[in-house]
Amino acid sequence: MEQSPEWYEIVVGIISIPAGIFGLVYSFFIIKKVNLESKKIELEILEKNKIISDEKEQISIDKKTTSVLKTNQLNSIILKFILLCLILLSWGVFTQIFTFITGGMYIFSDKIFGIEDKNEWYYLLPFYIIQQMPKIINYLIIIIVGVPLIKEINNYLNITLKDLLRIRK
């Protein structure tokens, strides 16, 4: 005999879904804020470089500014990667739930319409197509978020596509 969940388990389950969504949205805005702060720091550094006239001091400041900019860029890359992982993990959970729902729809329609008795495969086709839709969205997420992240990592590491595709002899 199954035990029904306690009231606090139900409350925690209800609260965790909006909290997870809020966390994803909040991290998206944090990434935007980090990018804006990075640009602001870069502009402030450029402005201060114009004020400083001594070349020796300017060289040391340039080294410091590039290290600060590299650090901010690296932090932005790490934050975007974490966000991509969280989005893909959340989407994976949704995909599993969606798979169970479509499987339930198939079983339900089988019980009502007797699909399995007819032994024809094209009754399964709509359920299969509907079940594959979240996978397509998963690939779209990777293309929309992952490809710019890979470009940013290559830019950070000073790697061009030509360098990656060049065959060494």
68 contacts 76 by C-beta, under 8 angstroms:
no
Question: Is residue 135 in a domain?
Answer: yes
pLDDT (0 to 100) of residue 26 = 84
pLDDT (0 to 100) of residue 59 = 63
Q: What is the dihedral of CA 81, 83, 85, 87, to 10 degrees?
A: -150
**Residue range 55-84, pLDDT digits in tens:** 555 566 667 777 777 888 888 888 888 888
How much of the chain, in percent, has pLDDT values that exceed 90? Answer: 0
pLDDT (0 to 100) of residue 11 = 78
**Residue range 96-143, pLDDT digits in tens:** 888 888 888 877 877 777 666 566 666 777 778 888 888 888 889 889
Question: Is residue 133 in a domain?
Answer: yes
Question: Is residue 31 in a domain?
Answer: yes
Its pTM stands at: 0.54
Question: Is residue 136 in a domain?
Answer: yes
Q: Which position has the higher pLDDT, 95 or 110?
A: 95
Confidence of residue 45 (pLDDT cuts 50, 70, 90): confident
Domain count, the chain: 1
Amino acid at 121: W
Give the range of the structural domain holding residue 88, as residue numbers without chain letter.
7-165
Question: Is residue 39 in a domain?
Answer: yes
Average pLDDT over residues 31-37: 85
* Whether the predicted pLDDT of 30 surpasses 80: yes
